């Protein structure tokens, strides 16, 4: 038995770095890396020199100083005696609040509009087309300003709610839409409220247990059990019963018009028009894009799939739920992630209506008062980057779970 001689090896020549496909890629990468490093070093040096010339340093110490300004809407307690860091946190939470509200609402609107746009009903289909084209072809900023203008100008001022000759009245006697915002009742936790919470949590658990029991039972006997109605009953009845038995431990602080003095509402919680405007405009605008993504996803599933399901005797609703949507999701989720990221970053358009998001607190008042542009903008960018990466990371995990298995 002989062993084949190795092919003759030729000595390495420098010209191979450019001409040889084995080395050329490496050469290009090394050169590109060196150029990039040089560029970054140059910009960094430039920054240091210019900051020194201006007499500025690079320091995050200002975050510990007193902020000294008020914020209209806060999710956590905050006064103007708190630090800039606390103000930034308030802004951060406000950004996350409007982003979360927007993503959920946009998804609901988008899925509904997307499915309905495929409807055979001429009127519904056309209406959805009008919605989609109208909202995605006009800049978001215009929609935010428009919704805010409608909310602020079409609603009455608080004074109109007062007295015998009031020209405005509260919806159901508890909610007041005013030019200054929407006043809604807010729950007040009294004695025994903890027990009520426990009951509520237990009934949520019980409803979930019922759902899985119904599914197992259907698999065992073939007979489907009613899930929705029973689950609703389990959710509502024990909580209502406990609420009454415990002597109404939770009361609602209802907004009321002051009898005398300046006309304003006492009690309840005021949801500023700027938040509602931003929320609705973001949801409607992004919802139009999501509608198109959902429609495209459903259309991407071949007609043969629904025909096969019909031929087996499945009804259209079941076909959609069991056959079409699970496959459409694979096409829908990746672009949906982009829309969530867009919406989250678009919350910075809050500047148009004066909503106190992170850009308005840290990137606005704080930056102007302290003159710490570099630090503020860096933190601001870092925040949006981290939030976006977390969203896309979580969604990618979901996407991998629903991916199709081939080979």
Q: Which residues bind another protein (CB under 8 A)?
A: 218-224, 302, 304-305, 307-315, 318, 322-323, 326-327, 330, 404-407
Q: How far is the CB of 315 from another protein (least distance, A)?
A: 7
Smallest gap from Cβ 308 to another protein, in A, equals 4
CB 388 within 8 A of CB 117: no
Output 10 or 405, the one with its CB closest to another protein: 405
Buried b (16+ CB within 10 A) or exposed e, 383-392: bbeebbeebb
> Of 4 and 312, which has the nearer Cβ to another protein?
312
Question: Between residues 61 and 224, which has the closer beta carbon with respect to another protein?
Answer: 224
* Residue given tokens 């609107």 in the structure block: 109
- Rounded Cα distance, 109 and 279, in Å: 13
181-184 and 186-189 as β-strands: parallel, antiparallel, unpaired?
unpaired
The three-class DSSP label of residue 241 is helix
CA angle 109, 111, 112 (to 5 degrees): 65
Whether residue 371 contacts residue 382, with contact meaning beta carbons closer than 8 Å, is answered with no
H or E stretch covering 187: strand 186-189
CB of 124 to another protein, least distance (A): 20
Comparing CB distances to another protein, the nearer of 83 and 305 is: 305
Find the shortest distance in angstroms from Cβ 392 to another protein. 23
**Euclidean distance between CA atoms 325 and 400, whole angstroms:** 16
Q: Least distance to another protein from the beta carbon of 207, Å?
A: 23
Q: Residue 301 or 379: which CB sits closer to another protein? A: 301
> What's the closest the beta carbon of residue 123 comes to another protein, in angstroms?
21
Whether residue 345 contacts residue 336, with contact meaning beta carbons closer than 8 Å, is answered with no
Rank residues 64 and 326 by Cβ distance to another protein and give the closer one.
326
Distance CA 365, CA 86 (A): 13
């Amino acid at each position: 038995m002989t062993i084949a001689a190795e092919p003759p090896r030729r000595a390495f020549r420098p010209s191979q770095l450019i001409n040889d496909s084995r080395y050329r890629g490496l050469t290009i990468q090394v050169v590109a890396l060196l150029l990039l490093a040089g560029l970054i070093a140059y910009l960094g040096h430039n920054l240091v020199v210019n900051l020194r010339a201006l007499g500025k340093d690079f320091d995050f110490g200002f975050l510990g100083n007193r902020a000294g300004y008020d914020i209209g809407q806060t999710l956590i307690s905050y006064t103007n005696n708190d630090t800039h860091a606390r103000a930034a946190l308030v802004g951060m939470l406000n950004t996350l609040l409007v982003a979360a509200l927007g993503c959920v609402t946009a998804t609901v609107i988008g899925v509904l509009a997307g499915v309905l746009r495929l409807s055979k009903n001429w009127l519904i289909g056309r209406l959805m087309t009008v919605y989609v084209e109208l909202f995605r072809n006009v800049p978001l900023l215009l929609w935010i300003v428009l919704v805010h203008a409608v909310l602020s100008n079409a609603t009455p001022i608080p004074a109109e709610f007062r007295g015998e000759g009031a020209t405005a009245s509260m919806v159901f006697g508890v909610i007041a839409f005013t030019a200054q915002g929407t006043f809604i009742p807010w729950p007040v936790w009294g004695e025994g409220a903890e027990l009520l919470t426990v009951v509520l949590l237990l009934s949520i658990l019980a409803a979930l247990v019922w759902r899985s029991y119904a599914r197992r039972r259907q698999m065992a006997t073939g007979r489907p059990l009613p899930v929705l109605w029973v689950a609703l009953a389990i959710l509502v009845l024990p909580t209502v019963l406990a609420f009454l038995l415990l002597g109404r431990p939770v009361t609602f602080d209802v907004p009321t018009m002051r009898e005398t003095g300046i006309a304003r509402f006492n009690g309840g919680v005021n949801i500023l028009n700027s938040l509602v405007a931003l929320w609705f405009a973001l949801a409607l605008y992004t919802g139009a894009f999501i509608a198109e993504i959902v429609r495209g996803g459903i259309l991407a599933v071949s007609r043969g799939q629904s025909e096969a399901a019909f031929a087996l005797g499945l009804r259209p609703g079941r076909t959609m739920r069991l056959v079409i949507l699970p496959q459409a999701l694979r096409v829908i989720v990746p672009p949906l992630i982009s829309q969530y990221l867009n919406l989250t970053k678009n919350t910075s358009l809050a500047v148009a209506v004066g909503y106190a998001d992170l850009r308005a607190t840290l990137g606005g008042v704080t930056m102007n008062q302290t003159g710490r542009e570099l630090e503020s903008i860096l933190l601001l960018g870092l925040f949006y980057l981290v939030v976006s990466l977390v969203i896309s990371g979580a969604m990618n995990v979901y996407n991998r779970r629903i991916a199709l298995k081939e080979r």
